[in-house]
Amino acid sequence: MLVILNPNTDENTEDFKLTWEYLLGLPEVRLQKHKVQGRGQKLTEIYLIGNTAKVNQEDIELLPSVERVIRISHDFRILGRHSKETSSIDFEYNGVRFNQNNFHIFA
């Protein structure tokens, strides 16, 4: 699950601390913070890693400092190799098979 905070959120504010403490209290979930300094604003993302199936997305969206919450689907976790599954995602387009066993060069 990905929690995107409002732009330029200061970690020293009560709103941020309230949000962080709430997320820390979620069972079977660990947090990873990622900051991106852009030209005009600083963005902070918090990754919720672990068993997020029972985490209520709407509750997190109501927290102060939160701009939006994105639930990462199972297929994206496989693509990102976040799970121990070895299955691959493949597809066919115009008769060409795309998967991890094929290499295609487009010119």
CA torsion sign for 25, 26, 29, 33 is negative
- Give the mean pLDDT of 6-35: 96
Collect all residues with Cβ–Cβ distance below 8 Å to 49 and sequence separation of at least 6: 29, 30, 31, 32, 82
Chain centre distance of CA 106: 30
Specify the pLDDT at position 22.
Answer: 97
Fold of 2-98: Alpha-Beta Plaits (3.30.70)
Whole-number percent of the chain with pLDDT over 70: 84
Specify the pLDDT at position 78.
Answer: 47
H or E, element range at 42 = strand 42-50
* pTM of the model as a whole: 0.68
Specify the pLDDT at position 23.
Answer: 97
| Boundaries of every domain in the chain | 2-98
- Give the mean pLDDT of 41-45: 94
What would the pLDDT profile of 55-91 be if each residue is shown by its tens digit?
A: 999 999 999 999 999 998 755 544 455 555 555 677 8
Specify the pLDDT at position 14.
Answer: 97
